[in-house]
Amino acid sequence: MGALYGYAGRLLEVDLSREKVSVVELEPEVLEKYVGGRGLAAYLLWRELGSRWREVDPLGPENILLFLTGPLTGYYPGVKLAVSGKSPQSNGIVGSVLSSEVALELRAAGYDGLVVRGRASSPVYIYVEGERVEIRDAGRLWGLGGRETFESLMRELWGELKRKHMAREGLTKEPSFVYIGPAGENRVRTAAVMAKLAHAAGYGGYGAVMGSKNLKAVAVKGFGPMPPAKRPEAVKLLIREAWRRLTARTTFRQWGTSAGGYYFGAVTSSEPVRNWQEEWHASRSFGQQYFEAHWVKRYWGDYGCPTTCMKISRVRGAVTDGPDYELQAYLGANLGVFEPKSCIYLASRVDDLGLCGIQTGNVMGFAAELYQRGILTKEDLGFELRWGDAEAFARLAEMIARREGLGDVLAEGVYRAALRISREKGVDALRYAVHSKGVGIGAHGVRSGKDFLPDFSYAASTQGGDHTSAPDATTGFGGELWSAFADSAVICFFNMIDDLAFDMLYAVTGFDIDKERWTREHGRRILTIQRVALLEGGPDVRWRPGVDDDLPPRFYEPLPSGPFKGRAPSREEVARKRAEYFRFMGWDENGIPLDETLEELDLGFLKPAVARLRGTGREH
Amino acid sequence: MRGPIFILRDPLKCTGCRLCEVACSLKKERAVWPEASRIRVYELFPGVDVPHTCAQCRDYPCVKACQFGALRVDDVTGAVLVDAEKCTSCGSCVRACPGKVMRLHPGTGKAMVCDLCGGDPECVRACREAGFNALTVIPYDRVSYNVYSVVPDEVHRRLYETLFGG
């Protein structure tokens, strides 16, 4: 390996138990193999925790929380940060990505990422300013909602930066932060890592991991450039070309995903409606023009991104982003709410509590269906939980975030809540839990066959119900192999233009990785580690290889309404495609990696775990 | 455009995309370097973005404040130009700037300010090509007689009120 381009080549490590800060060098060979973000997270987590993965409590001090950038952070349009660790939802490894300038600031401070270990004895936040790293008291921030946390941190740290620098070097830019709301503090498994007001890394439940470490926020201000690129002139041309092509996407610029609220319900019939009892609605009230009426007329984007997919809405004094399609669906149609104003209000409440809108909308829809069926009652909840009652759902979200009453059960996420309710009520509540591997399924159904994901996708995904990372074909570059690239180079997958992204990776790092090699080597390598971690699971939950690689029962119920009424995937087809996909990945029929695959991908260190899994496979 | 120019900013059109910062630092530093960009967009509250750069105040307080003759005004564009050889990094210009635009470079420590790219600013081009037009080049003589730069906090406060109410 020659000189390292596109990386700082080091990670910042903060041990909250020992109150110790250190810097760890990254080996160039590791970077070439795992690239960054999600890929690097999978490798680092397994390297350290792999031998005792089953025993590691995701919410215990032994879990490691990672905030990683990638070589394209700051270069490719859009700025993303990959959050990972052992997931308290799937008990595997989820690469959870959010938009945050923290990624840019970490690189400007000379790090490729931040590793957080241990648990602070009282609430803290981590402050990085150039070379200085401090663990600071966050007592006065603990308990605050998202907006207050943001405003308080900004006031304090912006003031501090001005005091320190304005009289001499001049005014610096503002710092950036990621934080948790009350939900993360209370270790709610559907809590997100938040940025700004509504930017969230929700899949995986890493807000709860932050909370378990008593870590309220990470605030960063760096002063340096992005790590030098190998071919700066080519990078400059590629940035311009990416801007040009992204600027040409007029509709997405105008609406982002916010045009989905009506489209996915009426046209593709793949939107969660009343906890997926249906996937069709034709409520024109849910069209983008009705949402648009609430937007503050300002198009908003993140650093370096000409795509203004974000919208700021203001309802009842609350300011929120969008909501985007996912939250329109999960805090709208899925709760029987078909009125934009109520949906925006719910989204702003859920964001402010630091809850993942997808996961929380999923578990609230589950609760409402149990109420509809008389399994949960007014006595259980303390109030009526009727479809469409936004006030009731706002109240429930609050109970979940604060773990009050039944909220404490639902705070465990839809799968764990279903297990407990089944036990306590003597019913099979798992029938109504729409999840894969403990991760609530994104707002894109597979029954109509008209959305972008094929029927088997959620059954075979290494990130469970994560709609941004599920196989979209049984072979080739696509689906989770594709998102594993976006999440490892750490770019926005909505901005990913395949040829430009791989060219940019080459121009920045000099790594000779094209789409074909990524598919064959890097992507499979990353997903194979994720797959093994997912199957190892534990300590509270483990997935049976093959058996649990299935769709939730609801998805086998024929669609009851709409233009695709009667459609449902066939179990045989799902099993056939799943097997085909596993074969393509180099895994056996139960999705356990073959020894030859481990050899081929240089993953010999997975062998003991794989041998253990084969044992488990026989038990079932 | 010949003659003195001014970069007109419309914060209401600014999306916070910061292509201007990327374009500026790529041109001036051959790197993506937000802190070294001569133009900056401040985002002190989500979605409230304030583009911030030199206003070429008519009385040029920064130039007046420099005791070392390191700053001068470009005869054609009206931009403040820095002579890095003469600059002692004393920070007098930084303190003199009413809008806190003038800074010391995060790498070299020398005074750093927008030089208007000789009349065709890279930031304006990026903003125009992205279709936002939050930045536009206009002749300086169209600017009202008493333009001076303002600290971003101040613009932010007013913009926040405009967008979300007081």
- Whether A310 and A423 map to the same domain: the answer is yes
- As a whole number, the mean pLDDT across chain B is 94
| Locus of tokens 């490729």 | A112
Chain B: nearest CA to A289, how far in angstroms? Answer: 20
Q: Which of A373, A405, A440 is the last residue of a domain?
A: A440
Read off the pLDDT of residues A139-164 as tens digits, 9 standing for 90 and up: 999 999 999 999 999 999 999 999 99
Contact A300 B15 (CB under 8 A): yes
The whole-number pLDDT of residue A2 equals 65
Range scoring the smallest mean pLDDT among A13-27, B8-22, B145-159: B145-159
In whole angstroms, give the CA distance from residue A200 to residue B99: 34
Chain A residues whose beta carbon lies within 8 Å of the beta carbon of residue B134: none
From A205, A192, A218, A188, select the one nearest A16 (Cα to Cα): A218
- At residue A616, the pLDDT reads 57
The answer to whether the Cβ–Cβ distance between A150 and B131 falls below 8 Å is no
What is the residue type of A402? R
Query: Over the stretch A74-121, which tens digit does the pLDDT of each residue have?
Result: 999 999 999 999 999 999 999 999 999 999 999 999 999 999 999 999
Residue A357 structural domain: 249-440
Residue A52 CB partners (closer than 8 Å, separation 6+): none
In whole angstroms, what is the distance from residue A188 CA to residue A339 CA? 28
What is the average pLDDT across A208-234?
A: 98
Chain A residues whose CB is inside 8 A of the B17 CB are: 301-306, 308
Higher pLDDT, A496 or B147: A496
- Where does the pLDDT of residue A617 fall: very low under 50, low under 70, confident under 90, or very high at 90 and above? very low
Residues 6+ apart with CB under 8 A from A223: A108, A109, A130, A172, B35, B106
Q: Check whether residue A205 and residue A83 sit in a common domain.
A: yes
Instruction: State CA A157 to chain mean position distance.
Output: 27
Residue A342 reports pLDDT greater than 90: yes
Q: Are A206 and A336 in the same domain?
A: no
For the stretch A243-253, pLDDT in tens is: 999 999 988 88
Q: What is the C-alpha end-to-end distance of chain A, expressed in Å?
A: 46
Q: Same domain, yes or no, for A217 and A254?
A: no
Instruction: Confirm whether A265 is domain-assigned.
Output: yes
Nearest residue to A365 (alpha-carbon basis) of A344, A392, A386, A335: A335
Shortest Cα distance, chain B CAs vs residue A197, angstroms? 7
Q: Is residue A619 pLDDT above 50, yes or no?
A: no
A235 pLDDT exceeds 90?
A: yes
- Averaged pLDDT of chain A: 96
- Determine whether the interchain pair B106/A158 forms a contact, defined as Cβ–Cβ distance below 8 Å: no
Residues of B in contact with A298 (CB under 8 A): 12, 15, 47, 163
Q: Are the C-beta atoms of residues A272 and A330 closer than 8 Å to each other?
A: yes
Q: Where does the pLDDT of residue A620 fall: very low under 50, low under 70, confident under 90, or very high at 90 and above?
A: very low
Percentage of residues of chain A with pLDDT beyond 90: 92
Question: B122-143 as b/e, with b when 16 or more CB fall inside 10 Å?
Answer: bbbbbbebbebebbebeebeeb
Which of A169, A225, A306 is opposite residue B130, by nearest beta carbon?
A306
Q: A161: which residues sit within 8 A by CB, 6+ positions away? A: A129, A172, A174, A175, A221
Residue A257 forms part of a structural domain: yes
Helices vs. strands in chain A: H and E counts, helices first: 25, 17
Chain B residues whose beta carbon lies within 8 Å of the beta carbon of residue A223: 35, 106
Looking at the fold, whether A38 and A105 belong to one and the same domain comes out as: yes
Span A269-282, pLDDT tens digits: 999 999 999 999 99
CATH code (residue B18):
3.30.70.20
Chain Cα centroid distance, residue B6 = 10
Q: Tell me the C-alpha distance between A506 and A76, whole Å.
A: 12
**What mean pLDDT comes out for the span A196-209?**
97
A residues 51-80 lying closer than 8 A (beta carbon) to B: 74-75
Q: How confident is the model at residue B5, as a pLDDT?
A: 95
Dist CA A9 CA A1 (whole Å): 13
Token pair for residue B37?
Answer: 């960009």
Q: Give the pairing of strands A80-84 and A96-99.
A: antiparallel
> Are residues A61 and A19 both part of a single domain?
yes
Q: In chain B, how many domains are there?
A: 1
> A312 and A167 in one domain?
no
- Around Cβ A420, how many Cβ atoms within 10 Å? 15
The type of residue at A176 is S
Domain boundary, last residue among A204, A221, A238:
A221
Q: Is the CB of B32 less than 8 angstroms away from the CB of A150?
A: no
Residue A81's φ and ψ, nearest 5 degrees, are -125, 130
Same domain, A431 and A335: yes
Nearest Cα neighbor of A28 from A52, A4, A59 is A4
State percent of chain A over pLDDT 70: 99
Using a CB-CB distance cutoff of 8 angstroms, which residues of chain A are in contact with residue B94? 166-170
Is B46 within 8 Å of A104 when comparing Cβ atoms?
Answer: no
Structure tokens at A216: 């309220």
Residue tagged 């004393």 (tokens)? B90
Burial class (CB in 10 A: 0-12, 13-18, 19+), A160: middle
Query: For B113-148, what is each residue's pLDDT tens digit?
Result: 999 999 999 999 999 999 999 999 999 988 876 778
CA gyration radius, chain A: 23
Residue A618 is predicted with a pLDDT of 46
Residue of B nearest to A156 (CA): B44
pLDDT confidence of residue A315: 84
CB contact under 8 A, B44 and A197: no
Residue A414 sits in the same domain as residue A358: yes
Residue A595 belongs to some domain of the structure:
no
> Number of structural domains, chain A?
2
What is the spatial distance between Cα A580 and Cα A62, in angstroms, rounded to a whole number?
37
Contact A502, A513 (CB under 8 A): yes
Alpha helices in A310-382 (DSSP H): 325-330, 340-352, 357-372, 378-381
A316 and A398 share a domain?
yes
Task: State mean pLDDT over B149-165.
Answer: 90
pLDDT tier at B166 (50, 70, 90 boundaries)? low
| Cα angle for residues B130, B132, B138 (degrees, 5° grid) | 110
Evaluate whether residue A115 is within a structural domain: yes
Cis? peptide before A323, omega within 30° of 0 = yes
What CATH number corresponds to the domain at position A154? 3.60.9.10
Q: Copy the structure tokens of residue B50.
A: 């304030």
pTM of full prediction above 0.80: yes
Residue A297 pLDDT greater than 80, yes or no:
no
3-state secondary structure of A560: coil
Binary contact (B32, A304; C-beta < 8 A): yes
Work out the pLDDT band at A316, boundaries 50, 70, 90. confident
Beta bridge pairs of residue A312: A296, A321
User: What pLDDT does residue A606 have?
Assistant: 98
Yes or no, beta carbons of A308 and B17 under 8 Å apart: yes
Which residues of A fall within a CB distance of 8 Å from B16?
A: 300-303
Whether residues B46 and A150 touch (CB distance < 8 A) is answered with yes
Confidence at A376, pLDDT banded by 50, 70, 90 = very high
Note the residue count of chain A: 620
CA dist list (Å): B59 to A109, A190, B56, B63:
37, 57, 8, 9
pLDDT in tens, A12-31: 999 999 999 999 999 999 99
- Which is nearest to A306 in space by CA: B37, B21, B130, B135? B130
Hey, what amino acid is at A299?
Y
**CATH assignment at residue A355:** 1.10.569.10
- Residue A315 and residue A175 share a domain: no
Of A5, A98, A174, A296, which to mutate for an interface test with B (greatest number of B Cβ within 10 Å)? A174
**For A180-196, what is each residue's pLDDT tens digit?**
999 999 999 999 999 99
Q: Is A260 helix (H, G, I), strand (E, B) or coil?
A: helix
Which tokens is A310 given? 């974000």
Q: Final residue of a domain: which of A413, A440, A467? A: A440
DSSP A103: H
Q: Tell me if A72 sits within 8 A of A225, measured CB to CB.
A: no
Task: Summarize pLDDT for A33-65 with one digit per residue, the tens.
Answer: 999 999 999 999 999 999 999 999 999 999 999
Residue B102, SS3 per DSSP: coil
Question: Which DSSP letter does residue A214 get?
Answer: T
Contact A305 B17 (CB under 8 A): yes
A366 part of a folded domain: yes
In a domain, A431, yes or no: yes
Are residues A164 and A293 located together in one domain of the fold? no
Distances (CA, A) of A484 to A182, A288, A328, B154: 30, 30, 26, 43
Query: Would you state the pLDDT for residue B90?
Result: 97
Interface test with A, best of B17, B39, B110 (most A CBs within 10 A): B17
Q: Do A243 and B29 count as a contact with CB atoms less than 8 A apart?
A: no
Are B152 and A171 within 8 A, CB to CB? yes
pLDDT of residue A473: 92
Q: Given a cut of 70, is residue A443 above it in pLDDT?
A: yes
Domain span including residue B115: 5-164
CA-wise closest residue to B80 among B149, B27, B23? B149
Neighbour-count burial for A589-612, b at 16+ CB within 10 Å, e otherwise: ebbbbbeebbebbebeebeebbeb
CA torsion A534-A539-A540-A545 (nearest 10°) is: 30
